[in-house]
């Protein structure tokens, strides 16, 4: 048995994505696939920023105070085109400098459709894994989060920036997607100054997940409604546990929840 506050599962890109749940001891989640497991919430939630007990979790693991003040919960997390780290500004300029005023990658990822997104260069391929992409390609490399956000906004005319989580968990994949073709056909539609930022790296990273069988229908689980979640674990994709019944648990959404895993 392991216990502790949930956080985003640690991942490693191998032949199949390797998942580790970081609790009182590391839990090899891949080894649990195919077995009955139990996750029981104690009723306690700790803020991922300050550690204080909070009755409700805001923005994936914050108490309300930290949600409104912490750099990790700032608006530019969701809307990077609003980032001001490159100007030396933000909720916490030192944190912004370390995390947002750093090289970023704009990418295309394939799932049920082609998705455009951005991530810090050091988070490749972690970000792609967390979104449950089946494959991804670098589209451009920028000096900071703001520049990546501006480019992402320009690309929303051609690609979605949302992940359809239910289709992702059902493995509803558009097999006709050609990421290299999708990337370079933009040359005909975008201004030259944007195309000049494009990466020459056309390597497609394929992502395989430890899943025995994908569900035909998906039902989301929540500790707030069901403190004890149990069943046969059929797989892991993105940051979701997939159970035999088609029920799924978003681990990242429950950041800070104190649980026991058996």
Q: Give tens-digit pLDDT for 81-100.
A: 999 999 999 999 999 999 99
Q: What is the dihedral of CA 171, 174, 175, 177, to 10 degrees?
A: -130
Question: Hey, how many other C-beta atoms are within 10 angstroms of the C-beta on 148?
Answer: 29
* Residue 95: predicted pLDDT: 97
Question: What's the pTM?
Answer: 0.94
Rounded Cα gap, residues 128 and 150, in angstroms: 20
Q: Give CA separation, 112 vs 184, 186, 187, 250, in Å.
A: 20, 20, 24, 19
Q: Give CA separation, 212 vs 18, 103, 178, 194, 241, in Å.
A: 14, 37, 26, 42, 12
* Residue 193: predicted pLDDT: 82
Q: Can you list the residues of the chain whose pLDDT is less than 70?
A: none
* Residue 58: predicted pLDDT: 95
Span 23-71, pLDDT tens digits: 999 999 999 999 999 999 999 999 999 999 999 999 989 999 999 999 9
Q: Going by DSSP bridges, is the β-strand pair 247-250/219-221 parallel, antiparallel, or unpaired?
A: parallel
Rounded Cα gap, residues 226 and 254, in angstroms: 13
* Residue 128: predicted pLDDT: 96
What residues pair up with 205 in beta bridges, in sequence order? 136
């Amino acid at each position: 048995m392991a216990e502790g506050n949930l956080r985003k599962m640690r991942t490693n890109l191998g032949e199949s994505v390797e998942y580790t749940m970081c609790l009182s001891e590391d839990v090899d989640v891949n080894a649990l696939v195919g077995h009955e497991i139990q996750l029981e919430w104690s009723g306690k939630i700790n803020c991922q920023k300050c550690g204080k007990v909070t009755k409700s979790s805001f923005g994936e693991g914050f108490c309300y105070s930290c949600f409104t003040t912490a750099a990790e919960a700032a608006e530019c997390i969701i809307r990077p085109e609003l980032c001001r780290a490159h100007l030396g500004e933000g909720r916490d300029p030192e944190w912004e400098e370390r995390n947002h005023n750093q090289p970023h990658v704009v990418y295309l990822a394939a799932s049920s459709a082609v998705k455009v997104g951005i991530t810090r260069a050091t988070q490749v391929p972690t970000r792609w894994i967390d979104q449950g992409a089946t494959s991804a390609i670098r589209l451009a490399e920028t000096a900071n989060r703001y520049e990546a956000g501006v480019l992402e906004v320009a690309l929303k005319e051609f690609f979605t920036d949302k992940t359809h989580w239910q289709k992702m968990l059902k493995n509803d994949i558009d097999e006709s997607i050609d990421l290299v073709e999708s990337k370079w056909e933009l040359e005909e539609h975008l201004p030259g100054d944007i195309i000049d930022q494009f990466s020459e790296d056309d390597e497609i990273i394929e992502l395989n997940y430890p899943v025995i069988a994908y569900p035909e229908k998906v039902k989301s689980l929540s500790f707030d409604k069901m403190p004890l979640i149990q069943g046969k674990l059929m797989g892991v994709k993105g940051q979701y546990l997939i159970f035999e019944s088609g029920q799924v648990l978003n681990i990242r959404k429950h950041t800070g929840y104190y649980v026991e895993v058996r």
